């Protein structure tokens, strides 16, 4: 089954043989500060944090950034094996402000919005 259809809840086994649910471990999130919407199908992903990943010519990670840039990919937290979403490399940034980024990647168009407490009920 692909990650898109995965409905399982990850758990972790601690050193004292206690199972912890993924939210307690920070593997999955229950607070959201960012929302990403893919234009072609409305696929929506939310995460607490985001970062922009830079790649070299061989497609290997070279650096992470706080701001978007051509050639970088968006990575949505949590920043571990259970990350929420990663885009392909950005090819164009069509609009950018403090709380909105509209951009194109190698295969999709996206809108990334900053969420606020009034809209989500979550502290930001």
- CA distances 54 to 72, 87, 115, 123, Å, are 5, 12, 25, 29
Q: What is the pLDDT of residue 50?
A: 94
Torsion-angle region of 7 (φ positive above 0: left; ψ -120 to 50: alpha; else: beta): alpha
Q: What is the pLDDT of residue 1?
A: 44
70-87: buried (b, 16+ CB within 10 Å) or exposed (e) per residue? eebbbbbbbeeebebbeb
Please tell me the pTM assigned to this model: 0.72
Pairwise CA distance, residues 101 & 124, whole Å: 18
**Of 73, 80, 76, which Cα lies nearest the Cα of 59?**
73
Q: What is the pLDDT of residue 10?
A: 57
- Per-residue pLDDT in tens (0 to 9) along the chain, 124 residues: 455 555 555 555 555 555 555 455 555 556 789 999 999 999 999 988 999 999 999 989 999 999 999 999 999 988 777 778 999 999 999 999 989 999 999 999 999 999 986 554 554 4
Q: What is the pLDDT of residue 124?
A: 47
């Amino acid at each position: 089954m692909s990650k898109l259809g995965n409905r399982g809840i990850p758990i972790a086994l601690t050193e004292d043989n206690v199972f912890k649910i993924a939210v307690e471990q920070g593997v999955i999130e229950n607070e959201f500060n960012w929302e990403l919407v893919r234009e072609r199908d409305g696929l929506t992903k939310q995460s607490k944090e985001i970062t922009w990943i830079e790649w070299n010519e061989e497609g290997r990670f070279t650096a992470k950034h706080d701001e978007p840039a051509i050639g970088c990919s968006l990575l949505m937290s949590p920043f571990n094996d259970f990350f929420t979403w990663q885009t392909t490399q950005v090819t164009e940034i069509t609009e950018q402000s403090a709380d909105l980024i509209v951009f194109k990647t190698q295969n999709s168009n996206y809108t990334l919005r900053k969420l606020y407490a009034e809209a989500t009920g979550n502290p930001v």
